[in-house]
A and B are shown apart, each in its own frame.
Chain A
Amino acid sequence: MDYLRSLLVTLRTLLVASAASGALSSSGQTQETDPEAQLWAEALEEGTPDAFQNYLDTYPFGPHAQEAFEAMIVTALGSRSIEDIEPADGGPRVDVTPLGDLY
């Protein structure tokens, strides 16, 4: 159980670190923090409904807006999220990592 817990913490740390690094510009000369990506990384790290709502209030049309809405609902309800979706044309199924597993 402790092993699983530490594994989850490690994964979450990696995820936040990855999101934070994505917030940096890749110009190679000056690296500036993208406030939108920074706020998203903070919301992920905090992992609370309020944190995701804060992201939505600040960036309602941001690149992570739909994810933030989903995470806000799932964390608020204490639910597990399942994304087992099929496209309309009956093509290959899209496999998406269940967001609920990240928190």
Chain B
Amino acid sequence: MATPARPGRLAVLPALLLLAACAGKAPDPWAVTSLERAYRPPAGDIAPSGRLALRAGLEPAIRAMAEALPAAGLEVEAVDLDAGRIAAVYSGEAEPWLDCGWFVPAGAADGEWLPATRLLARIVPPGAPSGTVALRQLRLDARLVVRGEPLGDLVELDSDVHYLVTRTFDVVAADGRVLRTERATLVFDTGQSGRLDENLRCRSNGRLEQILGTLAG
């Protein structure tokens, strides 16, 4: 003779089934946290705005800076000699200008830290289908604005930068098909740090803010 199930036991059954289903679900090998199995954020102080005093007139100082910026890899977008302003943009590798910490890719040995500013990293997580890889790309788009202000026989130049860091993961099959793309952009300005998620935190290394001093020197 069968014993009727008690209502209490019936209520527990769906919860147990749900628990079993969750326990059996394999982690997503292409999630960011799976592709980057360890992350060490940048340390140290955040670079302040760039400031430089030159013994020159406003117009010659702005003109000289505008002429020198392309040598540092920046494209001058606009120059206003009367107001003493320059806008310049940069697009490309983040490594020269940012510190985004370090990460260990999935499938790499312990201690194989890569700079998170790395332009391109090829990641093969354990258990991935043969030939399928994740391509991690990081690019920087930055806009530098220089403002000049006459100060007696000097010109004081200030510079601030608007940073956009875009990280893209493309999961590519052996035949070249892109199976999945995840792309996100973090935004911050000079004097700040930006955080995309637990695996990416970026800050300026100060070189772009100090570029005026470098060019003047």
Contact = CB atoms under 8 A, between A and B. Distances in A.
Interface of A: 56, 60-61, 65-66, 69-70, 73-74, 77-88, 94, 99-100
Contacts of B48: 88
Contacts of B143: 65-66, 69
The SS class assigned to the A binding surface is mixed
- 4 residue pairs, one from A and one from B, having the closest CB atoms: A60-B78, A88-B46, A79-B185, A66-B162
Interface in B147-200: 162, 164, 166, 183-189, 191-196
21 contacts: A60-B77, A61-B78, A61-B85, A61-B145, A69-B162, A70-B162, A73-B164, A77-B183, A79-B184, A80-B183, A80-B185, A81-B164, A82-B186, A82-B196, A83-B186, A83-B194, A84-B186, A88-B46, A88-B48, A88-B193, A100-B185
Contacts of A85: 187-189, 192-195
Contact of A88 (B80, B141, B164, B191): B191
B78 A86 contact: no
B87 interface: yes
A65 B48 CA distance: 21
A60 B89 CA distance: 11
Interface in B63-112: 77-78, 80, 83, 85, 87, 89
Nearest to B160: A66
B185 A73 contact: yes
Contacts of A56: 77
A100 B195 CA distance: 16
Most-contacted residue by chain B among A77, A78, A100 (CB, 10 A): A77
Given A61-B85, A84-B196, A85-B192, A70 B184 contact: no
A70 B193 CA distance: 16
B165 to A, nearest CB: 10
A59 B169 CA distance: 34
Contacts of A77: 166, 183, 185
B28 interface: no
B87 A61 contact: yes
Given A69-B89, A85-B192, A85-B194, 18 more contacts: A61-B83, A69-B141, A69-B164, A82-B187, A82-B194, A83-B187, A83-B194, A84-B186, A84-B194, A85-B189, A85-B195, A86-B192, A87-B191, A88-B45, A88-B48, A88-B191, A88-B193, A99-B187
